[in-house]
Amino acid sequence: MNHIKVLFFATLRDLAGAKFIELDVPAEMTVQGLKDKLACDYPTLKQAMETVLVSINREYAFDEAILPEAAEIAMFPPVSGG
């Protein structure tokens, strides 16, 4: 099991009801696996997990990236500008 910290920013913080959570997740869990877990454990986040931007230890990550031990995962809603 890997112990990770998940930080929520902007509207995700409101949807999760917390600034961050700490979780124990299976070794070899991917970003997509984490998004699926959060959507299941926090139904208010389900729709947001479809478009969320994710970083692992301050570097943007894709869905297939594996979560390392003691990782800091940050989740951001998509940003639009004009």
Q: pLDDT per residue over 1-21, tens digit each?
A: 999 999 999 999 999 999 999
pTM of the model as a whole:
0.93
Q: What is the pLDDT of residue 80?
A: 62
Number of domains comprising the chain: 1
Q: Return the CATH number at 42.
A: 3.10.20.30
Q: In terms of residue numbers, what domain contains 71?
A: 26-76
Q: What is the pLDDT of residue 21?
A: 98
Is the confidence at residue 78, as pLDDT, over 90?
no
Sequence-separated (6 or more) residues with CB below 8 Å from residue 24: 1, 2, 3, 4
* Average pLDDT score over residue span 50-56: 97
The encoded tokens of residue 32 equal 């997509």
Is the confidence at residue 81, as pLDDT, over 70?
no
Q: What is the pLDDT of residue 75?
A: 98
Does some domain include residue 60? yes
Does some domain include residue 17? no
Does some domain include residue 43? yes
